Amino acid sequence: MNGKLIKLHDKVFKPFLGEDRILEAINKMADQIANDYKDEVPIFVGVLNGAFMFVSDFLKAYQYPCEVSFVRLSSYQGLTSTGIVETLLDVPENIEGRSIIILEDVIDTGRTLKKLVHLFSQTNAKEFKIASLFYKSEIYNGEYAIDYVGLEIPDTFIVGYGLDYNELGRNLREVYQLNQTNMINLVLFGKPGAGKGTQAGFLKEKYNLKHISTGDVFRYNIKNGTELGKLAKSYIDKGDLVPDEVTIDMLKDEVEKNPQASGFIFDGFPRTAAQAEALDNFLESKDMQVDATIALEAEDDILVSRLLERGKESGRSDDQDESKIRNRFDEYNQKTAPLKAYYEKQGKFHSVNGIGEILEITERLSTVIDALA
């Protein structure tokens, strides 16, 4: 293999299996199956879309009479299985009394295999066997026998040789695996007007992070009447503070809804040392951690001017009164002082100059984040 990393969409993949190794495994499978079926004419059924390259090379290696057909199923979106397997192209006709060998590209959890077995068990085929080029034994549920296996591989996301990531990568002659990088989880601080939202937008794109704004999460849950939203609203309506556990549960939902993220930017939470500790406990339960807290720093006078200018355009009353703006700064200083001490004790607090061109500030933030790897 050439040893080069490749990028498909937002993910980086590294070389895993060379073409020679794959073809060697296919030739071995073809010999095994021929030994069992050379005295009859089996029907090979390829499972689309991923198995088209495998089927093509397998048929070249199979030197005896045979027929070929295809079914098409789908359960993957991006990097994860949806858990719902759809039949998009049904089983071939005229298979009564025939031997069927299903050619799968990869067997992992077994969900697709279960659907295949169900499809063919309803026919009058003489028998059907399962052949899979790649087999992830450590996550396979073991419900059905895999009759022929090309290569047993670990549970890693792979592309190439017919397999895709959001439809890219199928045409690669070799197989690549996801280049797992350490997850990056950030807490972003900044006074009003410091450009926190703008920078979060750039960072989430650059590092494939999910930006979780606590305010946005609260508004979403309350507006959509989720159980957590109703619970939060019950406290708000009574004039009480929403307990940290409710907020943490909302953040937990956001984290679990985004399994493809390479990390998270927490914005607006934590606001107290107790909340920071609660966030640490939650992340630890997911084998994650806060890797860095970054404060965008700027002089108050500059931020006041910035917010007053913003207030002219937005019409926001709290951005049009200098005394209110400075009160918000005082409140920010009081709240973040214990948080700064909490994260400094862990060696995770970073201060970044928030004044300058937007891209300059992004570069300063990136320098901190890149040093975490």
pLDDT tens for residues 151-171?
999 988 999 999 999 899 999
In CATH, the architecture of 6-178 is 3-Layer(aba) Sandwich (3.40)
Query: Which residue intervals of 67-161 are DSSP H helices?
Result: 111-121
Euclidean distance between CA atoms 112 and 117, whole angstroms: 9
User: Positive or negative, the Cα torsion across 16, 22, 24, 26?
Assistant: positive
DSSP 306-317: HHHHHHHHH--G
For 7, other C-beta atoms within 10 Å of its C-beta total 10
> Are 170 and 11 in contact, with CB atoms under 8 Å apart?
no
Q: Say yes or no: do domains 6-178 and 184-370 share a fold.
A: yes
pLDDT given for residue 182 in this prediction: 67
pTM of the model: 0.53
Average pLDDT estimate for 238-252: 89
Query: CA 175, 8, 174 angle in degrees (round to 5)?
Result: 15
> Are 26 and 175 in contact, with CB atoms under 8 Å apart?
no
Taking alpha carbons only, the member of 203, 188, 212 closest to residue 367 is: 203
For 15, other C-beta atoms within 10 Å of its C-beta total 17
Q: Could you tell me the residue ranges of all domains in the chain? A: 6-178, 184-370
**pLDDT above 70: percentage of residues in the chain:** 93
Euclidean distance between CA atoms 66 and 50, whole angstroms: 21
Taking alpha carbons only, the member of 61, 54, 62 closest to residue 19 is: 54
Q: 88 φ, ψ to 5°?
A: -105, -20
Fold of the CATH domain 184-370: Rossmann fold (3.40.50)
What are the tens digits of pLDDT across the range 12-29?
A: 788 999 999 999 999 999
What are the tens digits of pLDDT across the range 292-321?
A: 999 999 899 999 998 898 888 877 777 788
pLDDT given for residue 59 in this prediction: 98
Helix (H) or strand (E) segment spanning residue 67: strand 67-77
